């Protein structure tokens, strides 16, 4: 089974596999893309609402990888649906790909190159330069802004 992100409808992704998506994707689509969602649902696409336990698992994983601030609620729930259904996530979003791979969820990309490696981001203070594993709104030492950094 494949879980389709919004980009799958925008790029008119097609597959012979069984498909599913979540109601929040439909809310993000407009015009012909919304019509495509409706047509695929009418043709048998499963609409799945992931359990809160799966959503919590994805949020924890996103915090561990440092991608929590990059993911919308729709993104989190799409990954949760793929995790829960043991399905392949179809998306071009790099942060979603990173979190999905952290959870051993298979990913298929559409129009972009997929990620080449999984990353666990670190956060560096713009003021004092300290580096943190966990994301904060501001530096807990000096109060300056933090920026996401590749640990490599």
121-152 CATH? 2.20.28
> CATH 3.40.50.1010 in the chain, residues?
2-108
Residue 95 near residue 78 (C-beta atoms within 8 A): no
The C-alpha atoms of residue 37 and residue 43 are separated, in whole angstroms, by 10
User: What is the reported pLDDT for 114?
Assistant: 47
Q: What is the pTM of this model?
A: 0.74
**Span 101-149, pLDDT tens digits:** 999 999 999 876 544 555 666 778 888 888 877 776 788 878 888 777 7
Q: Encode pLDDT of 2-13 as tens digits.
A: 999 999 998 888
Question: To the nearest 10°, the Cα dihedral for 128, 133, 135, 136?
Answer: -40
Cite the residue boundaries of each domain of the chain with CATH code 2.20.28.
Answer: 121-152
Q: Which two tokens stand for residue 78?
A: 């799409």
- Separation of CA 116 from chain center: 16
Residue 104's Cβ-side half-sphere holds a number of Cα atoms within 13 Å equal to 1
Question: By three-state DSSP, how is residue 38 classified?
Answer: helix
Provide the CATH number for the domain formed by 2-108 in this structure: 3.40.50.1010
């Amino acid at each position: 089974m494949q879980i389709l992100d919004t980009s799958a409808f925008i790029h008119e992704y097609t597959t012979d596999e069984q498909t599913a998506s979540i109601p929040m994707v439909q809310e993000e689509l407009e015009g012909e893309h919304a019509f495509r969602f409706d047509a695929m649902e009418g043709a048998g696409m499963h609409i799945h609402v992931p359990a809160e336990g799966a959503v919590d698992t994805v949020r924890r994983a996103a915090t561990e990888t440092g991608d929590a601030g990059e993911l919308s609620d729709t993104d989190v729930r799409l990954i949760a649906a793929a995790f829960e259904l043991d399905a392949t996530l179809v998306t071009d979003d790099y942060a979603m790909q990173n979190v999905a791979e952290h959870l051993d969820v298979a990913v298929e990309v559409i129009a972009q190159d997929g990620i080449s490696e999984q990353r666990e981001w670190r956060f560096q203070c713009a003021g004092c330069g300290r580096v943190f594993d966990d994301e904060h709104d501001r530096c807990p030492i000096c109060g300056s802004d933090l920026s996401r950094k590749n640990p490599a």
